[in-house]
Amino acid sequence: MAYDPNNVFAKILRGEMPCIKVYEDDHTLAFMDVMPQTPGHTLVIPKTESENLFDLSPDAAGALIKSTQKVAKAVKKGLNAPGIMIAQLNGPEAGQTVFHIHFHIIPREEGVDMKFHAREMADMDELAALAEKIKAAL
């Protein structure tokens, strides 16, 4: 499958679609997942056109994992999350639904179940409030 420049994350990067930003640098962007599996579910994407891990250059992969680690630490601290799950899916068979490589940072707490992936829209005000807590922890 070739990279689709009209995928939702490419549109976010071009400013054609809104997002609730958590972190941005020259190479990556982190923002709140609008269909979170748990409160605080955050996505980190590279600013390069890469469909999956196998298309990503080593330099872009390094920048992406560095930002993922930085944002994951902020999610954990800012939301007092006892655990953090990091997920990265490659291909539809693995569950990838947006074909622009991205990492999921999902806060986890014992006894709290996750919602199904990409099923239910969150309240935007709640997402914005969670984003502020995460940004404050960066």
Q: Which residues of 27-49 are buried (b: 16+ CB within 10 A; e: fewer)?
A: ebbbbbbbebbbbbbbbbbbbbb
**118/104 Cα distance (integer angstroms):** 12
Give catalytic status of residue 117 as yes or no: no
Query: Rounded to the nearest 5 degrees, what angle is found at the Cα of 66, between the Cα atoms of 14 and 101?
Result: 45
Q: Residue 114 is encoded by which pair of tokens?
A: 């996750």
Nearest partner of 101 among 41, 34, 39, 28, judged by Cα? 28
Q: Which of 41, 100, 102, 104 is catalytic?
A: 102
The catalytic residue positions are 102
